Amino acid sequence: MEELIIEYQRELVGTVVCILILLISRFISIKAIRKVGKLRDIHEARTRLIIKYVSVGHTILLVSVLIFVWGINVKDLGLVFSSVFAILGVALFANWSILSNITAGVILFFSFPFKIGDRIRILDKEVPDEAVIIDIKAFYFHMINDHGEQLTYPNNLLLQKGVVLIEKQVHLDEDGTGIL
């Protein structure tokens, strides 16, 4: 066991340093996201969703750095990655709207002026009524109009269409499905 540790001492130290840097970076990122969520009074579920996205990004970055720390043959790795990316490229091209909705969800978290409980009108002929935002998910906005109909609207279209803020913080009933 000691021989193994001595032989791979440089890689083990590099791994420990990378993991420590990742943990510190992740801690700082999560603190910053929670602070932005609190300052902008963003719903806790939305904040946790963005934290999950950031954690996955940190993990992917850590794995990428560790591949280089351990000196894995880049030619062999290139062949594996090119094959994986070719398959993912075809799959993601087929599902590009899912990625655009997730990206729009992250953008909406950091820069969107509307919150759960706000009454809005989307300037889209297919959504003629005003509605109250009852939930914001990774892919969709969930709203309820004055007729009690629940509407689901994709995040990426919300960024593309004009939105009018009618009233801030309309009071919803306890289960969030109706207006008081």
Q: What is the mean pLDDT of the chain?
A: 82
- Asked if pLDDT for residue 60 goes beyond 80, the answer is yes
pLDDT-derived band at 92 (thresholds 50, 70, 90) equals low
Round to whole Å and give the CA distance between 112 and 49.
Answer: 16
Could you tell me the pTM of the whole model? 0.57
Q: Where are the domains of the chain?
A: 2-94, 115-167
- Asked if pLDDT for residue 9 goes beyond 80, the answer is yes
CATH of the domain spanning 115-167: 2.30.30.60
- Asked if pLDDT for residue 90 goes beyond 80, the answer is no
The owner of tokens 């004009």 is 162
- pLDDT tens per residue, range 148-160: 889 888 888 888 8
Contact 130, 145 (CB under 8 A): yes
The owner of tokens 């902008």 is 40
